[in-house]
């Protein structure tokens, strides 16, 4: 038996979609699967104690979604808590423990070393966990398991992940209590593809999901949407890095949704790159049920768009907003402030441009989380020793360690960059402002234990969190 444990207890509650996909694959391989969902448990300690007093699986899989909250003002780091959880489980059972998850995959080897877990799997979990399970029953050839980290003597060895293709996932979604998650989280996830060929300077998706796109058959995606609909779940969030990369696959998924009439029954949201996008894609997305798009806009200043290695230009942003509005799709532009070379002038240009093109809302966080293995890490390292680099910001002491929340904020923005950005926004309600730490607001745009959102969902709000917050504030 394989026991999967969801360790992500952040609120609002996001369903661990990866666990549903892994459990579906394991069952198809005739492995019995149990789920212990700590997010839905009233008392985590007694839930674990009760469970392991009755069950003795062959392998325990812990899902670790968020390594930190990627939010400069809070800088919450969740790895120490994971290590504690593993210690607590070890007191209850000596069954081997394997870690996995999107956040885990960014730091796989380091997390196995830090937490002393027996194993970790970077990247897709479906096939790899079955291979690990079989190796544990058989010859223990761990070097044959894709993406696996494991201990040999006192060191951790790590295999390369394989990024399985073509991508085919189980559509049953019957391991996780998705109805409860829908009621508590206001939306449910679904994937149409994995991987991304774009190279945005800060993005870790290339590490956790691979550098090329692997698509699911549109019919399989639509089958899964129908499965969720039969459970009464009618608001979805696409969990691809960017729904429109590749554009023609996004179009084909929409066509299939339209063919089955799903657009009339479902509302869904997506993260999207600003290019490729066009009026035709916007129109079919709306027909297929899309009600909101959150674009990776990054900036409204050409110089900063190049600094972030974006493929789009200011004009593409303006077009994207227009095509969404023409089709009745609510539009959010996600910006980032403080990247390499950001100045007060580029901040002003960006904010003024966004005001002018008039999306429904715009995210305006401060600080770029620096992940190892990204171009952002290379750029920061090229500026000299990080410990003395005025652009490197962190809330821990000692040597700079990118494993811990470490951010890049251009020192050219002066001593209070959040205040500077807020001054340019000048109270415009369309923006989710950065937190001015000297003058912190009670509400924010962090989805980490966000009581404003939890309360709104309790009283019936549904949808993407930016959309719910936008409606609450305007």
Site residues for ligand B12 per CB under 6 A = 8, 10, 14, 17-19, 21-22, 61-63, 65-71, 98, 100-103, 105, 121, 124-126, 129, 187-189, 191, 204-205, 209, 237, 239, 241, 271, 446-448, 465
Nearest distance in Å: CB 345, ligand B12: 28
Residues facing residue 331 across a β-bridge = 293
Instruction: Please give the Cα distance from 103 to 110 (Å, whole number).
Output: 12
Provide the token pair at 432: 């989710």
Nearest distance in Å: CB 238, ligand B12: 7
Nearest distance in Å: CB 423, ligand B12: 24
Nearest distance in Å: CB 279, ligand B12: 25
Nearest distance in Å: CB 122, ligand B12: 8
Q: Using an 8 Å Cβ cutoff, are 307 and 339 in contact?
A: yes
Q: Which among 287, 281, 307 is positioned nearest to 295, based on CA atoms?
A: 281
Length of the chain: 474
Burial 43-60 (b: 16+ CB within 10 A, else e): ebeebbeebbeeeebebb
Of residues 111 and 254, the one with the C-beta less far from ligand B12: 111
Of residues 353 and 466, the one with the C-beta less far from ligand B12: 466
The reply to whether omega before 224 is within 30° of 0 (cis) is no
Nearest distance in Å: CB 397, ligand B12: 21
Nearest distance in Å: CB 14, ligand B12: 4
Of residues 118 and 124, the one with the C-beta less far from ligand B12: 124
Q: How many CB atoms lie within 10 A of CB 110?
A: 19
Of residues 189 and 263, the one with the C-beta less far from ligand B12: 189
Of residues 205 and 349, the one with the C-beta less far from ligand B12: 205
Of residues 107 and 424, the one with the C-beta less far from ligand B12: 107
Indicate the SS3 state at residue 119. strand
Question: How far apart, in Å, do the first and last CA atoms of the chain sit?
Answer: 50
Nearest distance in Å: CB 443, ligand B12: 13
Of residues 190 and 262, the one with the C-beta less far from ligand B12: 190
Q: Which among 363, 362, 381 is positioned nearest to 371, based on CA atoms?
A: 381
Of residues 183 and 343, the one with the C-beta less far from ligand B12: 183
Nearest distance in Å: CB 211, ligand B12: 12
How many angstroms from the chain centroid is the CA of residue 132?
Answer: 25
Q: Which among 86, 165, 157, 162 is positioned nearest to 131, based on CA atoms?
A: 162
φ and ψ at 119, to 5 degrees?
-140, 165
Provide the token pair at 461: 């709000």
Of residues 122 and 314, the one with the C-beta less far from ligand B12: 122
Q: Using an 8 Å Cβ cutoff, are 101 and 64 in contact?
A: yes
Of residues 102 and 301, the one with the C-beta less far from ligand B12: 102
Nearest distance in Å: CB 317, ligand B12: 20
Instruction: Please give the Cα distance from 57 to 349 (Å, whole number).
Output: 58
φ and ψ at 404, to 5 degrees?
-85, 155
Of residues 251 and 271, the one with the C-beta less far from ligand B12: 271
Give the orientation angle of helix 344-357 with respect to helix 417-425, to 10 degrees: 30
Nearest distance in Å: CB 18, ligand B12: 2
Nearest distance in Å: CB 403, ligand B12: 10
Q: Which residue is nearest to ligand B12 (CB)?
A: 100
φ and ψ at 431, to 5 degrees?
-95, 140
Instruction: Please give the Cα distance from 75 to 49 (Å, whole number).
Output: 31
What lies within 8 Å, CB to CB, of 345 at 6+ separation is none
Burial 361-391 (b: 16+ CB within 10 A, else e): bbbbbbbbbbbbebbbbebbeeeeebeeeeb
φ and ψ at 201, to 5 degrees?
-55, -35
Of residues 18 and 300, the one with the C-beta less far from ligand B12: 18
């Amino acid at each position: 038996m394989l026991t999967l444990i969801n360790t992500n207890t952040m609120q609002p509650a996001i369903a661990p979609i990866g666990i549903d996909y892994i459990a579906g694959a394991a069952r198809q391989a005739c492995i019995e699967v149990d789920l212990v969902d700590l997010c839905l448990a009233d008392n985590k300690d007694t839930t674990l104690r009760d469970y392991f007093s009755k069950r003795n699986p062959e392998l325990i899989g812990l899902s670790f979604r968020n390594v930190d909250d990627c939010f400069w003002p809070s800088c919450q780091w969740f790895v120490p808590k994971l290590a504690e959880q593993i210690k607590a489980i070890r007191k209850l059972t000596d069954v081997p423990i394997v870690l996995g998850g999107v956040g885990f995959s960014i730091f796989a080897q380091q997390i196995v070393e830090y937490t002393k877990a027996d194993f970790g799997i970077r990247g897709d979990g479906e096939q790899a966990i079955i291979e690990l399970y079989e190796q544990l029953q058989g010859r223990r050839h761990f070097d044959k398991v894709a993406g696996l980290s494991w201990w040999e003597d006192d060191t951790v060895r790590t295999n390369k992940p394989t990024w399985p293709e073509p991508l085919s996932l189980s559509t049953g979604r019957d391991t996780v209590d998705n109805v409860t998650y829908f009621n508590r989280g206001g939306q449910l996830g679904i994937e149409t593809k994995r991987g991304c060929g774009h190279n945005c300077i800060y993005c870790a998706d290339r590490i956790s999901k691979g550098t090329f796109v692997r698509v699911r058959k549109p019919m399989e995606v639509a089958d899964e949407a129908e499965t969720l609909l039969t459970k009464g779940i009618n608001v979805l969030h696409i969990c691809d890095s960017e729904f429109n990369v590749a554009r023609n696959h996004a179009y084909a998924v929409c066509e299939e949704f339209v063919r089955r009439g799903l657009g009339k029954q479902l509302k869904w949201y997506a993260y999207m790159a600003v290019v490729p996008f066009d009026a035709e894609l916007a129109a079919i997305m709306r027909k297929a049920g899309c009600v909101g798009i959150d674009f990776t806009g990054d900036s409204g200043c050409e110089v900063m768009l190049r600094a972030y290695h974006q493929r789009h230009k200011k004009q593409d942003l303006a077009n994207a907003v227009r095509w969404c509005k023409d089709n009745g799709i609510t539009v959010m532009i996600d910006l980032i402030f403080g990247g390499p070379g950001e100045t007060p002038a580029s901040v002003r240009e960006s904010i003024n441009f966004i005001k002018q093109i008039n999306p429904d809302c715009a995210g305006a966080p401060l600080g770029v989380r620096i992940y190892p293995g990204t171009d952002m890490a290379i750029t920061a390292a090229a500026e000299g020793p990080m410990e003395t680099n005025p652009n490197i910001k962190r809330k821990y002491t000692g040597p700079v360690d990118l494993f811990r929340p470490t951010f890049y904020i251009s020192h050219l923005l002066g001593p209070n960059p959040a205040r500077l950005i807020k001054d340019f926004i000048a109270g415009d309600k369309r923006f989710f402002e950065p937190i001015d730490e000297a003058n912190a607001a009670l509400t924010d745009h962090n989805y980490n234990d966000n009581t404003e959102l939890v309360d709104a969902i309790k009283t019936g709000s549904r949808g993407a969190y930016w959309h719910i917050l936008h409606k609450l504030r305007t």
